[in-house]
Chain A
Amino acid sequence: MNGLQTDLIAALPELFVLSMAMFILLADLFLKPSNRIVIFLLTQITLLGAAFITISTHNPSVSYAFSGMFVDDSFADVMKLMIYLSTSLFLVYTRAYITLRGMFRGEFYALVLFAMAGMMVMVSGQHFLTLYMGLELLSLCLYALVALDSDNARATEAAMKYFVLGALASGMLLYGMSMMYGATGSLNISEVASALLNGSQDKPVLVLGTVFIVAGLAFKLGAVPFQMWVPDVYEGSPTAITLFIGSVTKLAAFAFVIRILAQGLYVLAIDWHGMLMIMAVLSIIIGNITAIAQTNLKRMLAYSTISHVGFLLFGLMSASMNGYISSMFYIVSYVLMTLAGFGMILLLSRKGFEAEQLDDLKGLNQRSPWFAFMMLITMFSMAGVPPTLGFYAKFAVLQAALQAGFLWLVVFAVLMAVIGAFYYLRIVKLMYFDEPIDHTPINNPPEMNMLLSVNALALLALGIMPQRLMDICAYAIAHSLQ
């Protein structure tokens, strides 16, 4: 009985979110469409409640649950809090957008909560199967979300692509996991790690398993050469869903990578860090160079994501504590930037009009100097120009890579960052130097305007005072990884 109690306490946030998701699904049946705002509020309350539970059950020690399949440690808690926060922002940014496009339905919110539960399991999984279950829960919800606007042919196509390729990646991941199981005799992350330490396994099987696992992970992250789906899905999905895929889910994907590579397979770092290095380099090259040619803002941000993933891998490939902390800092910064960036597209969209072409940003400084300034901060942050958060994110991963001895790779990465700066500058150019072609007033709910401003200003404020965030990341990693 006592064991069950600890199990339940460790998984309390997940249980709460799941029950609320089901409750919302039911409650939606009894609500008139005009009262649907209640669903939105209930979802926000769920997030708040989950955050409350996570914080109040937090302690710095690591506790395992469900026979070691599930873990509640500081890393999981911090990542979950980030997931709640970014999901909450995501919901505020998208409310007006989905209302105008007929997606403001109970299913939307239920799916988001289910997806979030999946992410929470990914963050807390300590067993290949738990992790995989979380991933699939997330992925299935995402496929459905992309296709939610069923009259939209582009979105349906994107969902199809996402599904087929996503299933393929999951398959690779599973295959890799099964090889690990074959070699080590366990699916439990900690047991795999200690079995690997003994080092009596068949090396080719391990390496092959690692290759498949890394390939699967790279697909989920969107690293080159597994990036093909990213631009198509980003462009085809309704912008609201793109925002979700581009920001919140990356947190889960990162946690997933940390759990498997840094916790489970750290002994094999010598094998996977070379793979990550190649993917990092390729992602930075292809992401940055291809982004220049884009005219569609969402596609451009998709390639920008790919290059950000490259930088993220720079931190991970160092395979050191410093590297993991830096990449965690990077992913958190990245999510905040992406939320602000896509938030701005949502802000400029209106009924029957998607502000997804670069030209739609033209002359924004004349239409709304305030939001032009917010976008300016976001773009410079993505480009990694101080005094914004993006600079410290790049700084952190580059110093980690340099500490690990990759001097010339770092030099290469900064040269590519200059190319990257070009397309962010182009957006600033469009907003500030060009005349507007569209004079429609920007009209959005006040809470969205306010939170988006806070979001963008946070990029600046955290750029001036990054220490707290660094401390949080250091705390999370240091208390969770050996």
Chain B
Amino acid sequence: MTSLPLLSLAIWVPILAGILVLFTGDDKHASTARWIALLGSLVAFAVTIPLYTGFNFADGGFQFQEGFSWIPTFNIHYHLGADGIAVPLILLTSFTTILVVIAAWEVIQKRVAQYMAAFLIMSGLMIGVFSALDAILYYVFWEAMLIPMFLVIGVWGGPNRVYATIKFFLYTLLGSLLMLVAFIYLFYQTNSFEIVDYYRLPMTLKVQVLVFLAFFMAFAVKIPMWPVHTWLPDAHVEAPTGGSVVLAAIALKLGGYSFLRFAMPIAPDAAHYLSGFMIALSLIAVVYIAFVALVQQDMKKLIAYSSISHMGFVTLGFFLFNSIGLEGSIVQMISHGFISSAMFLSVGVLYDRMHSRQIADYGGVVNTMPKFAAFAVLFAMANAGLPGTSGFVGEFMVILGALQKNFWFAFLASTTLILGAAYTLWMVKRVFFGEIANSHVAELVDLNKRELLILSTLAILVIGFGVYPQPITEMTHATVAQFLDHMAHTKIPAGL
């Protein structure tokens, strides 16, 4: 084990790289900005690798801990640590940032330095969310992350970007502020902002339900769960490709992760008490949103709804309270990170050439872009949950978990295998196959080296984790066991 503050490095390297990129100034030095950003993201990824290699798989608690007193007045600490759930997500974050930087290489021509800097800083902040063990530290990262995302959507987004980005910001802020109230409340119960202290705090069911609901508001918006999902399609459609990738691959995971870090272990009895409600919302997301996806005309919107539907699986797995369901959820989160990145990048490839995301504008793309079509079909299959891709593993595990609990949960959840296939493959059919639809499609040029590099990396990961998901499950196993053990004990004080 090294004594390097690995988590601090993982947070601050990208942030400092981002600030450095900002100093390259205007677009005259765009290429310098790009190279510094690439270098920064590679270094930032490199410093997160020891988190995997140095991870103790038998330990379900927090590892790589570091900390010092930050604001003694309120007993706030700069306390970091990561467990088996956080580390895969941290790796996912630092990896995705590289993809985003490369994906923007020629595409972004306007205010390049600011774009790259926003993504690097955001990456550091999101890793901060995944590794903070102090509630206020966590909250600072969680909120601060909104600022770069707000700018990314607003500056480089589509025509309706202002509406989308303000909606995104306000929706998220509303939820988070209620969470802040819950934190302050818990502070006055424990005189501490340490998350671990909250785990041990006994509370009556009524209080637990209120605390849980405050957290629920914050995280349900972020994941997003039905019915507070409406910001996501707007944000996705208007965001530039990189923004969509980060939103889908990582930002949504912040919500999922936070359920496991805060809402459930702090209020376990409320989590059990409300599990029927949560499962119902999850299943509505899985089934209803899948139908909504079916009728979309806009490719990005379709993928956005597909994301919501897949995140419904994640929350479903959380509230089954069995290990296979929970591990399935975590695998699903990681896998969705790859698949949704790939899908959005694929749409980006088309959009850069045609400047349209409407399915109706395409048709027969396979004739002009055969290599690209091969990738697109692979990712679509993965999105639909084809066995052998990572999309299958998570969904299958969650369905198995649901089956242990209730046949009908599993039944409803499995409809997604059909519906997911329906909306994804139908889109692929309309975009890629058939006759060449118009002269624009006829002029399309196949993937360049840069695009090929990104998409093939993702393809390898999607198939790799589909065949061999052990690296993720091994890592999460001990943490999940400990988590479920914690959840199984009531926190209601005796006599109440």
Instruction: State yes or no: do A and B come from one complex.
Output: yes
Q: State whether the Cβ of A438 lies closer than 8 Å to any Cβ in chain B.
A: no
Contact of A474 among B73, B146, B177, B181 (CB under 8 A): B73
Q: State whether the Cβ of B354 lies closer than 8 Å to any Cβ in chain A.
A: no
Q: Is the CB of B174 within 8 A of A418?
A: yes
Known: A418-B170, A429-B162, A467-B70. A385 touches B184 (CB 8 A): no
Provide the residues of chain A in CB contact with B408, threshold 8 Å.
Answer: none
**In the complex, what residue of chain A is closest to B73 when comparing beta carbons?**
A470
**In the complex, what residue of chain B is closest to A388 when comparing beta carbons?**
B144
Instruction: Give CA–CA (A309, B468) in the complex, Å.
Output: 59
Could you tell me the distance in whole angstroms from the C-beta of B349 to the nearest C-beta in chain A? Answer: 26
Could you tell me the distance in whole angstroms from the C-beta of B12 to the nearest C-beta in chain A? Answer: 12
Known: A391-B143, A414-B178. A467 touches B71 (CB 8 A): yes
User: B-side binding surface: helix, strand, loop or mixed?
Assistant: helix
Q: Is the CB of A421 within 8 A of B185?
A: no
Could you tell me the distance in whole angstroms from the C-beta of A377 to the nearest C-beta in chain B? Answer: 10
Q: Is the CB of B140 within 8 A of A467?
A: no
Q: Is the CB of B72 within 8 A of A467?
A: yes
- Among B147-155, B247-255, B335-343, B432-440, which stretch is in contact with chain A? B147-155
Q: State whether the Cβ of A355 lies closer than 8 Å to any Cβ in chain B.
A: no
Provide the residues of chain B in CB contact with A407, threshold 8 Å.
Answer: 181, 185
Instruction: Give CA–CA (A425, B184) in the complex, Å.
Output: 26
Instruction: Give CA–CA (A474, B73) in the complex, Å.
Output: 9
Provide the residues of chain A in CB contact with B139, threshold 8 Å.
Answer: 386
Which residues of chain A in 403-450 are interfacial with respect to chain B, using CB atoms and an 8 Å cutoff? 403, 407, 410-411, 414-415, 417-418, 421-422, 425-426, 428-429, 432-433
Q: State whether the Cβ of B284 lies closer than 8 Å to any Cβ in chain A.
A: no
Q: State whether the Cβ of A68 lies closer than 8 Å to any Cβ in chain B.
A: no
Known: A386-B143, A391-B140, A474-B73. A418 touches B173 (CB 8 A): yes
Could you tell me the distance in whole angstroms from the C-beta of B76 to the nearest C-beta in chain A? Answer: 9
Instruction: Give CA–CA (A398, B178) in the complex, Å.
Output: 12
Known: A402-B188, A418-B170. A425 touches B150 (CB 8 A): yes
Q: Is the CB of A415 within 8 A of B140?
A: no
Instruction: Give CA–CA (A470, B71) in the complex, Å.
Output: 9
Q: State whether the Cβ of A471 lies closer than 8 Å to any Cβ in chain B.
A: yes
Q: State whether the Cβ of B74 lies closer than 8 Å to any Cβ in chain A.
A: yes
Q: Is the CB of B170 within 8 A of A421?
A: yes
Number of B residues whose C-beta is below 8 Å from A? 36
**In the complex, what residue of chain A is closest to B174 when comparing beta carbons?**
A418
Contact of A411 among B169, B178, B187 (CB under 8 A): B178
Provide the residues of chain B in CB contact with A471, threshold 8 Å.
Answer: 73
Contact of A402 among B147, B155, B184 (CB under 8 A): B184
Instruction: Give CA–CA (A203, B114) in the complex, Å.
Output: 63
Provide the residues of chain B in CB contact with A386, threshold 8 Å.
Answer: 139-140, 143-144
Q: State whether the Cβ of B79 lies closer than 8 Å to any Cβ in chain A.
A: no
Q: Is the CB of B174 within 8 A of A415?
A: yes
Q: Is the CB of A395 within 8 A of B169?
A: no
Q: State whether the Cβ of B166 lies closer than 8 Å to any Cβ in chain A.
A: yes
Contact with A along B103-115 (1 / 0, CB 8 A): 0000000010010
Could you tell me the distance in whole angstroms from the C-beta of A254 to the nearest C-beta in chain B? Answer: 20
Provide the residues of chain A in CB contact with B150, threshold 8 Å.
Answer: 425, 428
Q: State whether the Cβ of A399 lies closer than 8 Å to any Cβ in chain B.
A: yes
Q: Is the CB of A399 within 8 A of B154?
A: no
**In the complex, what residue of chain A is closest to B175 when comparing beta carbons?**
A418
Could you tell me the distance in whole angstroms from the C-beta of B148 to the nearest C-beta in chain A? Answer: 11
Could you tell me the distance in whole angstroms from the C-beta of B111 to the nearest C-beta in chain A? Answer: 8
